[in-house]
Amino acid sequence: MEPILLRARGTPDSRSIDTYRRAGGYESLRKALALQSEAVIEEVKKSGLRGRGGAGFPTGVKWGFVPKDSAKPKYLICNADESEPGTFKDREIIRVDPHMLLEGIIISSYAIGAHVAYIYIRGEFYSETMILETAIAEARQHGYLGDDVLNSGYRMDIHIHRGAGAYICGEETALIESLEGKRGLPRLKPPFPAVVGVFGCPTVVNNVETLASIPHIIERGGEWYASIGTQRSTGPKLFSVSGHVKKPGVYEVPLGTTFREIIYDICGGIRDDKELKAFIPGGSSCPVLPADRVDIGSDFESVAEAGSMLGSGGLIVMDETVDMVWALENLLVFYAHESCGQCTPCREGSDWAVDVVRRIRRGYGRPEDLDTLAEIVRDTDIYLLSDEVYEHIVFDGAAHQSLLRHDELWARAFVISSFGKTYHATGWKVGYCVAPAKLTTEFRKIHQWICFTVITPVQYAIADYMAEMPDHYTDLPAFYERKRDRFCDLVSESRFALRPAKGTFFQVLDYSAITDENDVA
């Protein structure tokens, strides 16, 4: 396939506007300004372009959500935060061909009716920020930005906003909060940014690679773009290949190219000719795939069917020497550190996961850890981690017997690794009990509530209470009766007004549902 997004790589002085114009740059903008904005959106819809930042949502459809009759100004935000471990494709576009990105931003802004766009760029990307500032100044000087773009009457300007290094700001609503000068925390949806975005106005947030694709779609047409890739995953895709390959780097391939072709044909195979053990297809937040799935296509549908996500295209390759428990710990430490702390499952669960996996890696794992993990996944509705750290390690049939020798564990796919008995926070001993499917609905609801909302001192009191459940469950009624007064005292001591009547917490339990001590994890 001829290079499209990386066509300027290797060209001398590729960043300058003169070099870009000699290659036909900004002609797509001229063409787009001669069309109605609706026609531009329809062309993008026809192309089948899907977001390249991770979610894979159809770009033209996303643009169509922006209300046309809104009296408020509309904004476009280019997400150049790129904080996903294993992903480094967007900075390659900025370094090599910044004007291609700017042209895509201007065309996209015209399509949705925006006159101001922001490039939210990762704070560590200092050199890339300088490249973009120079490119914006050049574009303004040549009439591609300003009050009358190419004498069309269309007004447009682009501003750069540097982030402060928070991983969570790659999420579009957290990015918007940060852009507004607030702490970068995700917003509840709805409303969606297309209706209520930055400054309370309709906003579209697109990834660098997504926006860089727009000039090519307008230049050659949506049907041309749709002819590349697969029927449902169209166009070329940039893959950031890292890990144990001979030629790591950023590569452009049609969606649907098998991972075997990418790893062995394009990247030269596994380093030192070792065996492939596993790979992450789309960045560290995506589930790991074993070597026997290397022949699947690199498109959204095939990767999802195989049990992972295409994500941002951060292909991380691991050879036979990799300790998968070490790899898991490495990733979990990152996500525990980068948790924004807003949602309890991620804030508490990610640290729990680190504690358990670290214990396993140091040789102190317990066989019941894996049994419990399997039971959580198989039999319950309770999950203790956010999506980013859910599916991160899988063990073969011998795993239960080899837990104390973690080097024998080997990955076939990643599963939840989050079970831990207790956790210490703000002076309270926090624990949880997993409720198997055999228990009553009420019992499960209580435990689910505890797992998801251990936030206030009152809830910590509940967790403290539940953490001391006996190992033998045949005497649960007596245990509850014995501990009831202490629980109510803990609640009363808190600064919150919650005052449940004695016994309320226990009356919803159906002891008859517990027929065997093995029924409770």
**Model confidence at 466: pLDDT above 70:** no
Pairing of strands 75-80, 203-207: parallel
The pair of three-digit structure tokens given for residue 487, joined into one six-digit string = 């629980």
Peptide linkage before 191 cis (omega within 30 of 0): yes
> What pLDDT is recorded for position 55?
82
Q: Compare 67 and 340 and report the one with higher pLDDT.
A: 67
> What pLDDT is recorded for position 455?
31
How many residues can be counted in the chain? Answer: 521
Reported as a single tens digit per residue, the pLDDT across 164-193 is: 888 999 999 999 999 999 998 898 888 889
Q: DSSP character for 215?
A: H
Q: Compare 147 and 410 and report the one with higher pLDDT.
A: 147
> What pLDDT is recorded for position 27?
96
Q: Which long-range contacts (CB under 8 A, 24 or more apart) does 142-145 make?
A: 142/17, 142/26, 144/26, 144/29, 144/102, 144/103, 144/106, 145/106
Q: Compare 97 and 480 and report the one with higher pLDDT.
A: 97
Considering only 58-62, 92-96, 160-164, 473-477, which range has the smallest mean pLDDT? 473-477
> What pLDDT is recorded for position 342?
81
**Model confidence at 392: pLDDT above 70:** no
Reported as a single tens digit per residue, the pLDDT across 271-316 is: 999 999 999 999 988 889 999 999 999 999 999 999 889 999 999 9
Residue appearing with tokens 């001979």: 246
DSSP calls for 159-176: EEEE--S-GGGGSHHHHH
What structural domains and CATH numbers belong to the chain? Answer: 17-226 (3.40.50.11540), 236-311 (3.10.20.600), 324-408 (1.20.1440.230), 423-519 (no CATH)
Reported as a single tens digit per residue, the pLDDT across 192-221 is: 899 999 999 999 999 999 999 999 999 999
What is d(CA 105, CA 211) in angstroms, rounded to the nearest whole number?
A: 6
**Model confidence at 476: pLDDT above 70:** no
> What pLDDT is recorded for position 371?
63
> What pLDDT is recorded for position 265?
96
Average per-residue pLDDT for the chain: 75
- Chain centroid offset of residue 122 CA: 16
* Percentage of residues of the chain with pLDDT beyond 90: 53
Name the nearest CA neighbour of 179 among 191, 189, 166: 166
Average pLDDT over residues 408-414: 23
Which pLDDT band holds residue 324 (cuts at 50, 70, 90)? confident
Which residues lie below 8 Å from residue 280, measured CB to CB, with a gap of 6+? 86, 286, 287, 288, 289, 308, 314, 315, 316, 318
> What pLDDT is recorded for position 427?
25
Name the nearest CA neighbour of 239 among 279, 291, 277: 279
CA dihedral 37, 40, 45, 46 (to 10 degrees): 140
DSSP calls for 477-496: HHHHHHHHHHHHHHHHHSSS
Q: Compare 116 and 382 and report the one with higher pLDDT.
A: 116
Q: Compare 202 and 464 and report the one with higher pLDDT.
A: 202
SS3 assignment for 8-62: CCCCCCCCCHHHHHHCCCCHHHHHHHCCCHHHHHHHHHHHCCECCCCCCCEHHHH
H-type alpha helices, 142-258: 172-179, 208-220, 222-226
> What pLDDT is recorded for position 364?
81
**Model confidence at 70: pLDDT above 90:** no
Q: Under a CB-based contact definition with an 8 Å cutoff, are residues 415 and 394 in contact?
A: yes
